Structure 1
Amino acid sequence: MSSPRALLPRSTPAASGVSSRSIAAMLDRLEDRSVECHSVMVVRCGHVVAEGWWAPYSVERPHLLYSLTKSFTSIAVGLAIADGLLALGDRVVDVLPDHVPSDVSEQGRRITVHHLLSMTAGHDTDSLAEAWGLEPHDLVKGFLRVPFDAPEGTRHTYDNATTFILARMVERVTGVGLPELLDERLFKPMGIEDAEWDRVASGAAFGFHGLHLRTEAVAAFGELLLRGGLWNGQQLVPRAWVELATSRQIDGRHQAEGDDGPDFLCGYGYQFWMSRHGFHGKGAFGQHCVVVPSHDLVVAVTGAQRDVQHAQDVLDAVWECLLPGVGHPDGSRDDELLADRLGGLSLAQVRGSAGPRRSVTARLDASAESSALPDGATVVVEPTDAGWLLRLGSLLDLEVGHGAWRESSPLGRPVVASGAWQGGTFVAELHVITSPHRVRVAVDADAGTATATWVTLPLTTSDLELHLRSPLMTRPDVA
C-alpha cells in the first residue's frame, strides 16, 4: 500500500521547541494506565514533530472516529450559515416540516439550530434509542416525540440525535449530502482524499458518528481550527464560526458517552468540548483531536480504550506530561531515541505455537452478548504456509498469521489478523483495521466448538459481516 500524501510539514521536537522526553513521558503514562492507542500525532507550530502507529495500525489507514465526527458536522453547519442558507435561530419544524409529528409539543416547535449544536434541547438523557424506537424510519420525528424534561437552552445533555438532525438540516438547505459538502468545501482543499462514511439504512450519513479518517487528517483538522479556519492562505471556514463553535456555550454534565473527569465539566461549545487547556473533539473508544492554542499545539490520538476513564487519562497525559515540555526542547539524541520508539510501536500478537498442522471444523456458540457471528455458524481452521485460513460461515475467509500480521478483505474493508495454538485451542485476533474494534476467535479442537467475541463491542451492531462492508449500512440497535 502506497504512502499517502503528507498534509502537514515535518520537523523535529527540538527544532519546534518541544521536549522529546515529555512526549516519551506521555507515552509512558498511557502505557501505565493501560490505554490502548492505535496512533498518536503531535503538531507544534504547524509541523508534525512526533507520530507513531501501533502495528498493525499504520499511517495509510483511516480510522473510525465515532463522535469526533460531530465536530466535522459542526463545521458543515457553519458553512451553511456563512452561505446564508441557515441561521442559529432557525427551527427544526421550519427547515424539516415533513419530519414533524402531528402532535409535536410546543417545546418541540421551539427547538433551533443553536439548541441542537449545544445539545440543550431539554432531554434528560441521550434520546437516540428512544427516538429511533418511536420512529424507526424517521429519527427527526422520533426526536421531536421524546418528552422534554427541561426548558430548551437551560441544560446540556449529551444527545446523539441532535447531530443527526443538524446533518439533515444542512442537507436540506444546501441540496447536497453531508459527505459531499465536506468533501468539496473542506477535505479536497485540505488534500484529504480518503474520507469514508458509515450510513444509516436509508443511505444518509449518521452525522453524529461514522466518519473514518487517517490520523494526519484529524491532526490537520485540529490545525485548521487552531488557525481559525485558515488553510494554506485560504479561509476554508469563517474565523467567526470556528471561534463560536469552540467556545463555551453551556456547562458540561459528565455525559460524554459515559466519560467522567474534570475536562468534561469545562463546558460544551457547538459539538466541541471545552478543556482545561483549549478545546477538543472526542469519539468513543479513544478518538481525540486536542487543540491547545496557548501552546500552538495539536494532539491527535486514535485507539480502542475500554475504560471510560481512559478519555480523561489521555487528556491528563497531554496536560501533565507533554505541556510542561513545550518551550523546553532536548537534544538531537533525545529526538532520535523518541523517533526509534515511535517507529517500533506494536500491539501484542497472539502467543502460542504453530501446531498442530491440521484442519479443524467447529460450530459457533453465540451465547455471549458480544458474539460477532450468529449461533451455529461453521468455523474452519486450515493451515497454510504463512499461518492459517480461517473460514467464518460462508462469506468470511480470513488469513491469519503466526508471528506476523496477515491481511485480507473478503467483503471490502480489511481485516488484519494473528493467531496461534494454545494447547488444544486455536486463538486468533481479527483487527477490523479501519475501526477501534477486533474480534477474538477461540476454537476448541476437541469439543468442536468455537466462539467469536468482540474485545470492544461496537456501538452500532455486533454483526461482524456488516463491519466488513464499505460503507457500513446500519443504525444503532434498538431494544
Structure 2
Amino acid sequence: MLVNRRDFLKQIGAGAVGVSFIPWVPSPLIASTLKAGGLPRSTPEQQGLSSAHILAFIKAVEEKKLGLHSLMVVRNGQVVAEGWWAPYAPELKHTLFSLSKSFTSTAIGLAVAEGKLKVTDKVISFFSDDKPATVSPNLAAMRIKDLLTMTTGHEQDTIPPLLKEKSGDWARKFLSLPVEREPGTHFLYNTGATYMLSAILQKVTGQTVLDYLTPRLFKPLGIEGADWENSPDGINTGGFGLRVRTEDIAKFGQLYLQKGKWNGKQILPAAWVEEATAYQVPNAASTTPATDWNQGYGYQFWRSQHGNYRGDGAMGQYCLVMPEQNTIIAITSETHDMQAILTQVWDIIFPNLKPSALLPDKKAQTELKQKLASLTLLPAKTSATSPLIASISGKTFRLQDNPLHIETVAFSFAKNACTVELKDNKETYRIVCGLNNWVQGETRVPGNPPSFVAMEKKEPVPKEKIAAFGTWTSPDTFTMTWVFNQTPHSETITCNFENNSVRLEFKDSISAKAPSRKKEQPILIGQMIG
C-alpha cells in the first residue's frame, strides 16, 4: 500500500515583531560572479537545454499555482538557471521537512564507512537502558536497514506518539510501541524510524547528525550555517528539521550524482551511494497507477519515474537526481500538489535534455533572465491607498480578550509602508509592511509562526526572518501578508475597518494549501481609543 508520509505533520499558531526592515530587491537569474564555494555557472544552451523550455516550466508552475519558492537547475555540474520568488532569496535557508531524511541517511553511510556500525546491526543493541522489560521477537529482529527502508514492522507512523511523549525520551517511547509485522516485510513511511537513525548515530559518535556531518559533508561542499531541530533530549530530529539553502540542496544532489566524489576526493563511498539510491523495497501495490510515490524506496531516498531518484519533503522540497541526464533539479516550495511539480519536470524539462550543446538563443536567454529576475509572490493587482487612511493612521485600537493575549493594535501609514504595532502585557511587536512591495527583517511575535510539526517552542520566542507587504483589497479592508521566509509558510491578516472599529482575521498558508490540516485562527476585534 502507498502510505501518505506527511500524516505526521501538524500545524500550529500564528503571529509577528519587526526589527531592521529594508525594502526587498529580487536577485538575478545567473550570477555574474561565482561566489566562494558555489557551483560553476553556465547558460542552458551550453549544457544542452534550451532557455525556452526552462521558461515554459516556470510559466507552467505559475499558471497552475504550484507555489514554488526557488528553482535551481544544474546540468553537467553547471548551474544553468536559478531563481527565487521574492521574498525568498539565495542567501536564505529553507526548511526541508522530510528532505532532511536523505541527509540523515548520508550520515549513516559515513558511519558505516568508518566502521562505527553496520546496516545489519539490531536496533535494540544500541539502547540497553531504554528497551522495554519484554522485547518482542519483531522488535528484537529490527535492523538499522529496516529503519533506512521504512520497513520497521510498525503499522502506523511512530512520530505522533514521540511528539506527544511528555518525558521527552523519544527513543524509549519508540521502543515501547508495538511492532505488529516482521521487520523488512512491510513498507510504511515512518518518520520515527529516521529519528532512531539519528539517535543511533549520536550513540556511536557522541555527536549530533549535524555536528557529525559538518566536517565530513557540509564543509567539503561549502555548506555553511545549516541548523537542525532537536528532540527534547538533544538529538537532531533526523526525519525533519534541517534548514539549508537552495544551492546547498543542489550540491547535495550533485555529490550523489558524482557517486560521492567532490573536487576529486571521495567523501562518501560510491558503494553507499549506489545502495542508498537503489530500489530496496516496494512502496505501493503493483496495480497502483504510476506516480513518483510508487517507484520503490531506497535508504531514505525515493525512486522516481524514468529511472531517477530524489530526496523530498512535505509541501514540495525536492532534490531530484537524473543520473542518465547528468542533471540535478533543486526546488523549494509550498505546494498543494507535490506530484504536479514533478509532472511538469517530466513533461517539459526531462524530454528536452540534449546530449550536446545547443546553438545560442539570445532572445530566449534574455527573456528567461528577465523572468526569473522579477519572480515574486506579490499579487498582480494591488492598491496602496484608501480614503480611510487619514482617519485610522496613528490611531490605537483596544482589542477584546483573545487567545494571542494581544491588548492593542495600531496602524501608521506612510508613503511606501505601513507600520503595525501589536502590544501585549510584555512588549510591543512591530511589523513593517511594504505597500505593494516586500519589506524584510527579523521578527518575534506574540505566539508562533505557522508550523507543520508540533515541537516544543522555546521561551522567549526566538526571532524569525520575515518579509511583509500590505494592500487595500477594498476601501475599508487592508490585507497584510507576512512570509516567514526561512520556512515555506506565511500568514494573511485581513483587517476590516468600520465605524471606528477593526476586525483582524488570520489565515495561515498551511490551512490554505492543506485544508485537511486547517486550524481555526483567532479573530481579533477592537475599538479605536485614540
Task: Judge same fold: TM > 0.5, yes or no.
Answer: yes
Instruction: Label 1:248 to 1:126 Cα distance change in 2 as closer, same or farther (>3 A).
Output: same
Q: In the TM superposition, what is the alpha-carbon distance from 1:199 to its structure 2 partner?
A: 2.6
* Alignment equivalent of 1:361, drawn from 397, 402, 421: 397
Q: Is the 8 A contact 1:38 1:54 kept in 2?
A: yes
Q: Cα 1:201–1:390, aligned 2, differ >3 Å: closer, same or farther?
A: farther
**Residue pair 1:364, 1:451 contacting (<8 A) in 2 also:** no
Alignment partner of 1:449 is 2:471: no
Whole-angstrom CA distance in 2 between matches of 1:261 and 1:65:
25
Aligned to 1:137: 168
- Equivalent positions of 1:5-404 (< 5 A) are 5-133=36-164, 136-253=167-284, 262-277=291-306, 278-305=308-335, 307=336, 310-327=337-354, 329=358, 331-333=360-362, 334-349=364-379, 351-355=382-386, 356-357=389-390, 358=393, 359-361=395-397, 363=399, 374=404, 378-393=408-423, 394=427, 396-404=429-437
Alpha-carbon contact 1:363-1:378 (below 8 Å) kept: yes
Higher mean displacement: 282-291 or 422-431:
422-431
- Shift of residue 444 of structure 1? 2.5
What is the one-letter code of the residue matched to 1:342? L
Cα distance change on mapping 1:443 and 1:156 into 2, 3 Å: same
CA 1:287 to 1:330, structure 2 compared with 1: closer, same or farther past 3 Å? farther
1:436 is the counterpart of 2:501: no
Alpha-carbon contact 1:38-1:303 (below 8 Å) kept: yes
Is the CA contact (8 Å cut-off) linking 1:360 and 1:445 kept in structure 2?
Answer: no
Letter paired with 1:323: F
Q: Deviations over 1:58-108 (max 9, x none)?
A: 111111111100000000000111110011011221112222222342211
Q: What SS does the aligned partner of 1:347 have?
A: coil
Contact persistence 1:362–1:449 (CA under 8 A): no
Contact 1:22 / 1:324 at 8 angstroms: preserved in 2? no
Q: Which amino acid aligns with 1:110?
A: A
Which residue of structure 2 lines up, in the alignment, with residue 473 of structure 1?
none
Alignment partner of 2:186: what SS? Answer: coil
Moved more, 291-300 or 396-405: 396-405
2:469 matched residue in structure 1: 418
5+ unaligned residues in a row in structure 1: which ranges?
Answer: 255-259, 367-372, 465-479
Once the two structures are TM-superposed, the CA of residue 261 in structure 1 deviates from its matched residue by: 6.0
Q: CA RMSD in A?
A: 2.7
CA contact (8 A) 2:384 2:436 kept: no
> Structure 1 residues 174-183 or 453-462, which shifts more?
453-462
Q: Secondary structure at the match of 1:456?
A: helix
Partner of 1:409, secondary structure, is strand
List gaps (5 residues or longer) in structure 2.
Answer: 1-21, 445-462, 522-530
Instruction: Report which stretch shifted further, 383-392 or 416-425.
Output: 383-392
Secondary structure at 1:173 match in 2? helix
| Distance (Å, rounded) in 1 between the aligned partners of 2:371 and 2:166 | 51
Q: Distance in 1 between matches of 2:192 and 2:407?
A: 35
Once residues 519 and 131 of structure 2 are traced to their aligned partners in structure 1, the CA distance between those partners, rounded to angstroms, is 31
Contact 1:362–1:448 (CA under 8 A) maintained in structure 2? no
Deviation, 1:319, is 1.2
> 2 CA distance for matches of 1:271 and 1:379?
46
Contact 2:310-2:319 within 8 A present in 1 as well: yes
User: Secondary structure of 2:111's match?
Assistant: helix
User: 1:280 corresponds to which letter in structure 2?
Assistant: R
The two structures have a TM-score, normalised by structure 2, of: 0.79
Cα pair 1:157 1:253 within 8 Å, conserved:
no
Alpha-carbon distance between aligned partners in 1 of 2:80 and 2:184, rounded to the nearest angstrom: 41
Distance in 2 separating the partners of 1:7 and 1:462: 40
Distance 1:439 1:229 in 2: 40
The answer to whether the 8 Å contact 1:417/1:429 transfers is yes
What residue identity is the alignment partner of 2:369? A
| Distance of 1:390 and 1:342 partners within structure 2 | 31
Decide which structure has the larger Cα Rg and report it: 2
Distance 1:362 1:453 in 2: 21
Distance change in 2, residues 1:44/1:35 (3 Å): same
Q: Deviations over 1:355-382 (max 9, x none)?
A: 414135253787xxxxxx7265543323
Contact 1:44/1:297 (CA < 8 Å) preserved in 2?
yes
Change (3 A) 1:58 1:183: same
Instruction: Indicate the percent of aligned positions where both proteins have the same amino acid.
Output: 33
Moved more, 38-47 or 377-386: 377-386
| One-letter identity of the residue aligned with 1:418 | F
Quickly say closer, same or farther: Cα 1:362–1:288, change in 2 above 3 A.
farther
CA contact (8 A) 1:382 1:388 kept: yes
Deviates more, 1:96-105 or 1:43-52: 96-105
Moved more, 199-208 or 402-411: 199-208
Q: Cα deviation per residue 1:206-236 (whole Å; 9 max; x = unaligned)?
A: 1111111111110011000000111111111
Q: Would the alpha carbon gap of residues 268 and 415 (structure 1) be closer, same or farther in structure 2, given more than 3 Å must change?
A: same
For residues 374-397 of structure 1, what are the alpha-carbon distances to aligned partners after superposition, in whole Å with 9 as ceiling and x for unaligned?
A: 265543323245412223343632
Please say which of residues 407-416 and 66-75 is displaced more in the overlay: 407-416
Q: Distance in 2 between matches of 1:461 and 1:5?
A: 42
Conserved? CA contact 2:383–2:436, under 8 Å: no
What is the rounded CA distance, in whole Å, between the counterparts of 1:231 and 1:332 in structure 2? 32
Residues 336, 418 of structure 1: CA spacing in aligned structure 2 closer, same or farther, 3 A cutoff? Answer: same
Deviation per residue, 1:269-305 (Å, 9 max, x gap): 0000001131001001110000000100000000111
Amino acid at match of 1:448: V
Check conservation: 2:491, 2:508, Cα contact below 8 A: yes
Q: Distance in 1 between matches of 2:48 and 2:138?
A: 52
Matched length: 451
Q: 1:330 to 1:102 in 2, by over 3 A?
A: farther
CA contact (8 A) 1:395 1:410 kept: no
Q: Is the 8 A contact 1:131 1:146 kept in 2?
A: no
